[in-house]
Amino acid sequence: MEWSHPIGVWVGAIGTLALFSLIYRENRLYRLFEHLFIGLAAGYTIKAVWTETLKPQWWIPMTEEGRWPWVFALAGGALFYTIFTKKYNWMSRISIGVLLGFAAGQSFQATANVYIPQIRGSFKPLWVRPDMIPEGSLVTPLGQSLSNILFVVIIVSVMTYFFFSFEQRNKALQTTARTGRLMLMFAFGAIFGSTVMARMALLIDRVWFLMNRWLGIG
Amino acid sequence: MANPLARLDAIDRRYLYGVLLLIVVVGLLVPIPLPLAVGPQARGFYDAIENADPNKIAIVSTLWSASTQGENRPQTSVVLQHLMRKRMRFALIAFGDPQSTTLAQELAEELARENNYVYGKDWINWGFRADIAGTLKGLVRDINETIKRDSIMKKPLAEHPVMAGIHNVKDVSVIAEVSASGNYVSWLGLVVGSTDAPFCYAPTSVMAPELYTYLDSGQMKGMLFGIKGAAEYERLLGIKGFTTRAITPVSLSLVLLFVLIGLGNYGMYASRKKPSQGGTA
């Protein structure tokens, strides 16, 4: 092992091993490093919000570039804190109302842009002719037709499952909803598999760090 | 006598972690050449950068921290390597977690040294922004006015040669987001409709399954499915980096999981069966 390794690598290795010690059992070393990690991340965020956002976006324009009206942003932000006083907490609603208005307008635009193309994308031809297949594609018209039919069956059955407004007594409706629930289970299975893969990737990254960067193996 | 197989569903988890660790270490040290097919999602991402207009600037948006760097760092790395190979200008921007801008900057500097990329001339860091929606709406209108100064040299954006001719998102060639969060909704909702630039997404594996609808609708041109997506991209670039090595232990650990689920279920089944009573049925 080389003792010339940077201190950062050693701190990282000790921190990783301390956090992994939870696998054996709950212990004080794990708690210490867990608190250290959370504290560092929180402190880093506060510092970064000032250096990366508030200072270049608000402080410098206001104090060095003559854009003095930015001072009103401080007053507007300070109004949020009146929520802690019984006498003046009504004033916080001014700032909250303005922000809600901005957020509502943005959400309206964003919702339309995000979901309308998806609704449009769900309108698929159930019978695909050869001239509808892009040039060079390996998919056959029959294969694409089956894929589209499956897509429509799944989307209709899953949406039927979410009809909670009335009791589903009709046999056809019940079968469709049950199919929808089954399809959802397939999706949850895929999400579970992906989640496991993600967690494995994080473990592998840390193990590789310990092996390669710290111990110099591999 | 109790069935010993009935204890399979009660194995001490520490033994399981031990086996998992062993598999990961062996998998990293002895890479097995497992087949890895490049999916259309990774291909779409690759093609979007390959066909991007070289006269415009690419945006690489990051929203990840040390906690998900096992997946997001290799994803960011392959995207930046592709942009540098194409000699395309690019800008880094970070949202959500301020660690993101530091980690992406560190990675970009490392790759820039290898590819002779000069900060300010070939690439730039627009820094971290706490307000996603406000910043994205600003980029649509006026990038220089919205970002104001770069994150490293703290100089006005317009003074950097890399920003020559870049005014708003219409001057953007491709948008690549590497994220551990659902930031894609903001990009799709507030930016994508305002520009011809293709939007590509590199999420963690946890998020990836829910994004296929966006690929299907054409809102996303490509996607890197976690570490597997990064490995596919490495294959497309013809390089053998960390993910090419890591894909062996990923596959082996998933096989281990299948085996353990099977054993656990069998153990549960065996423990529920009543022991036979002296030959009577």
With CA atoms as reference, report the closest residue to B15 among A35, A23, A202, A138: A23
Judged against a pLDDT cut of 50, whether residue B156 lies above it is answered with yes
Q: List CB contacts (< 8 A) between B128 and chain A.
A: 48, 52-53
For chain A, percent of residues with pLDDT exceeding 90 = 67
Q: What is the pLDDT of residue B280?
A: 46
Q: B246 and A205: CB-CB below 8 Å?
A: yes
How far A164 CA sits from the closest chain B CA (Å)? 23
Judged against a pLDDT cut of 90, whether residue A205 lies above it is answered with yes
Q: What is the pLDDT of residue B68?
A: 94
* Residue range A184-197, pLDDT digits in tens: 999 999 999 999 99
pLDDT mean over A16-26: 93
Between chain A and chain B, the number of residue pairs with CB atoms below 8 A apart is 151
Cβ burial, residue B35 (10 Å; 0-12/13-18/19+): exposed
Judged against a pLDDT cut of 50, whether residue B241 lies above it is answered with yes
3-state secondary structure of B92: strand
How high is the mean pLDDT of chain A? 90
Q: What is the pLDDT of residue B277?
A: 54
* Residue range A115-165, pLDDT digits in tens: 999 898 889 999 999 888 888 777 899 999 999 999 999 999 999 999 888
User: Distance between CA atoms of B138 and B116, rounded to whole angstroms?
Assistant: 31
Q: A113 and B189: CB-CB below 8 Å?
A: yes
Q: What is the pLDDT of residue A164?
A: 82
Identify the helix (H) or strand (E) that includes residue A42.
Answer: helix A28-48
Q: A110 and B189: CB-CB below 8 Å?
A: yes
ipTM value? 0.86
Cβ burial, residue A39 (10 Å; 0-12/13-18/19+): exposed
Q: What is the pLDDT of residue A3?
A: 44
Q: A198 and B129: CB-CB below 8 Å?
A: no
For residue A43, CA distances in Å to A50, A138, A211, B94, B126 come to: 11, 53, 30, 18, 21
How high is the mean pLDDT of chain B? 91
pTM over 0.90: no
